[in-house]
Amino acid sequence: MGLAACSRFLFLEKVLVPITIEDMKREDIDEILEIERASFPSPWSGEAFLTELKERDSSCFLVAKSEGRVVGYAGFWLIFDEAHITNLAVHPEYRKKKIGERLIRFLLKLAVSKGAKRATLEVRPSNLAAQNLYKKFGFEVGGIQKGYYNDTGEDALIMWNKNLGGL
């Protein structure tokens, strides 16, 4: 194999999967549930996602789609000037392709446009992938909630970005 072919391969490796990011709709929920069940020991129900759709004043939920398929989603509640990130997951087959990063970037910009100055979330101490992602967006551990996760009894790390304007 010549050098040209090698360099072309390296170039293709860096191309990101094209995605669109849009508001969650009712018809996205079945695909979201598939990702939810593959991602969390205690997945949200379809009813829980429907409730988010009904609470449009305080809740924002986004989906990332690739070729029309839901490949990730993220949501937050806006409580005064704080964005509480409630959910984030990427389809296992689409991970490590910067989809989580693109979703969080979009979500935080949306939160700022709605008046958020700070953002917070809970994450399992064992979930290093998510913690690393959040750290890239200025989140730091600000506290621990003992026994937060009912399924395993695990504590939650409470992470904060207290200056979204600095992003």
Sites of contact with ligand COA (CB under 6 A): 39, 88-90, 95-101, 123, 127-130, 132-133, 136
Least distance to ligand COA from the beta carbon of 5, Å? 25
Exactly one of 36, 73, 82, 134 is catalytic; name it.
134
* Catalytic residue check, 34: no
In the bound state with ligand COA, the residue whose beta carbon lies nearer, of 16 and 115, is 16
Q: Which residue is nearest to ligand COA (CB)?
A: 100
CA distance 135 to 133: 5
Query: What strands, in cross-sheet order, belong to the sheet with 156-161?
Result: 20-23, 59-66, 69-79, 82-90, 118-123, 156-161, 140-145
* Catalytic residue check, 73: no
Place of tokens 């399992």: 124
In the bound state with ligand COA, the residue whose beta carbon lies nearer, of 115 and 167, is 167
Exactly one of 31, 101, 122, 154 is catalytic; name it.
122
Angle between helix 128-136 and helix 99-113 axes, rounded to 10 deg: 50
In the bound state with ligand COA, the residue whose beta carbon lies nearer, of 100 and 164, is 100
Alpha helices (runs of H) in 92-139, residue ranges in sequence order: 99-113, 128-136
Q: Identify the burial level of 151 via C-beta atoms within 10 angstroms of its C-beta, where 0-12 means exposed, 13-18 middle and 19 or more buried.
A: exposed
In the bound state with ligand COA, the residue whose beta carbon lies nearer, of 101 and 154, is 101
Inter-residue contact 17 to 94 (CB < 8 Å): yes
Catalytic residues: 122, 134
